[in-house]
Chain A
């Protein structure tokens, strides 16, 4: 499809660190993607409502506060309840190895840790959307 890949980048909870997510937003924009940024301090409900309304290909949640094992189960429950379980979900931030493994089991397509180069993020999202196919 000729349409740019649509990505929603979200910050959930009391985490106020958004420099990383802004760098990612900028990199994805420069790679030709449409990036919707929610701003800080969103709830899982707000993030999923926005992602469904925007019908994004990829929902990217940036977390630097350690609450990933609380936030992601809620996000997946809400996505299923909205009938949007074909959405690709990726996580970004600083997370321990055991959480990375558990997040993948939960359905997170890719965990992009703090030292991931922007080009790798671009390539990963492009590949995930290609693998999913038309929707």
Chain B
């Protein structure tokens, strides 16, 4: 490319499926460049056809390997697959090592699969800030399924469910008993449960624990169109991948034209709107708070005032004159 290509000029090439243009526009989205805002707004209007599949689970549960297998299976069915694989940034240096691609190396020569690694860069909830913008870009480039793989999460990083059309939660054998399975959080959000590494001898126990967890109190709930299945998979034998693929398609069909599906889509839009506003507010607050907070922190350290009062003061000093910012919203980088 050599010289700087304006972002709007990349759009036609993105729609054409050119990898270099797709890659560059995702980079611009990631850096929050003001110049890219208009192009991303147009891409957002072009997108909306892809099925967004969120894959989440604890670190080392086999998410990336599963994504690799799933993408291969979807390719065999003629679907173009975009993958956004998120790994953590260092809390110390801000740097990262993004290694999810290694587990997907069977896909690495297939032009119908686009893999993009992303670091969290301080975002919480298991996602990266630009993940949904990247999903829009891949969507506009004609990838029919976009898989979002979160960082290895803990028990309550569940943002993915508010962003994806179908959420798959991956559990690995040997990480807990039936009480672990009825805890609140991660396991509640699954549209589909996967127990990976099913070639291991203790996998049946985990499958049973999850299945039983799902039956508890089932008779008291309204019957719904979708019952979350529990699927055992193995990367060694390839077991379960067909079943997972069918479950994802089944969930897409059940939720695409129904009231429940519409409610979910509306929820996703609302989440995205609020998250974007939150990020803008966060950036503006951080820019403005740097100077004021040092002085107030000293008062707090000497116990001349209390955290709540000083926080209120910090908020009112940093966010005053907010009206002036409104015109800048579109030009300021996120």
Contact = CB atoms under 8 A, between A and B. Distances in A.
A38 to B, nearest CB: 6
B20 A83 contact: yes
Which bracket fits the contact residues of B? 35 or more
B23 A135 contact: no
A4 B99 contact: no
Given A29-B97, A52-B20, A86-B2, A37 B119 contact: no
A50 B19 CA distance: 10
A55 B102 CA distance: 17
A134 to B, nearest CB: 6
B90 A37 contact: no
A42 interface: yes
A46 B197 CA distance: 27
A52 B20 CA distance: 6
A30 interface: yes
A3 B19 contact: no
Contacts of A123: none
A4 B94 contact: yes
B211 interface: no
Contact of B23 (A43, A45, A54, A133): A54
Contacts of A61: none
Contacts of B23: 52-55, 84
A101 interface: no
A32 B109 contact: no
Contacts of B102: 37-39
A33 B109 CA distance: 26
Contacts, number: 110
Interface residues of A, number: 37
Interface string B184-214: 0000000000000000000000000000000
Contacts of B2: 85-86
A32 B94 contact: yes
Interface string A1-26: 11110100000000000000000011
A84 B26 CA distance: 15
A6 B4 CA distance: 17
Nearest to B21: A83
A36 interface: yes
Contacts of B96: 4, 29, 34-35
Contacts of A30: 90, 92-93, 95
B304 to A, nearest CB: 35
B130 to A, nearest CB: 10
A119 interface: no
A2 B22 CA distance: 21
B24 interface: yes
B124 interface: no
A49 interface: yes
Nearest to B26: A55
A25 B26 contact: no
- Ranked nearest first, the 9 interchain pairs of A and B with the lowest CB-CB distance are A55-B23, A3-B31, A39-B102, A29-B95, A46-B108, A32-B95, A83-B20, A32-B94, A55-B27
Interface of A: 1-4, 6, 25-26, 28-39, 42-43, 45-46, 49-50, 52-55, 82-86, 133-135
